[in-house]
Amino acid sequence: MNNSKKQSLYHLLIDSVIYGINNIDPYRYAETLPLRDGDAALMGNGCALTTTDKNGKILYHNTFVINLAMNDHQVVERVTAGRGRWKIDNDNNSTLKTKGYHFEHN
C-alpha cells in the first residue's frame, strides 16, 4: 500500500455559537483514517465535536466516522446530521424498551 493512502489530513475548524451563553464548538475532522491497524485496513473520514462553555467545561463530545468527503464547509453539516441520527436511534431504543411496547423474543 502506498504511503499517500496512509497519510491522514487533520483539520480544525473553530465555530463559536451563542445559545444564551457563549459556547465554543471546535469541529475537528480528518481524511483517510484507517479503521483498524494493518495494511489491509479500510479508510474512512472522521469528525469530532467537543462543545465547551466559556470556562472550558466540556458540555458535549462525540465522534463520527463516515465515508463521505469533508471540508471546512461540510464538517458542521456532517456533525449535525450525526448528532440527529444518534438522537433518533437513542430515542427509538428508549421507547421500545420502556414505553409499553412489550416485544418478546422469538
Tell me how crowded residue 17 is: count the other CB atoms within 10 A of its CB: 10
Rounded Cα distance between 43 and 34, Å, is 5
Indicate the residue type of 46: G
Which set of grid coordinates corresponds to residue 50? 467537543
Instruction: State the pLDDT at residue 3.
Output: 43
Question: What angle (nearest 5°) sits at the alpha carbon of residue 4, between those of residues 3 and 10?
Answer: 110
> Does 81 have pLDDT greater than 60?
yes
pTM score: 0.60
| pLDDT tens, position by position, 1-46 | 444 444 545 666 655 555 546 777 788 888 888 888 888 888 888 8
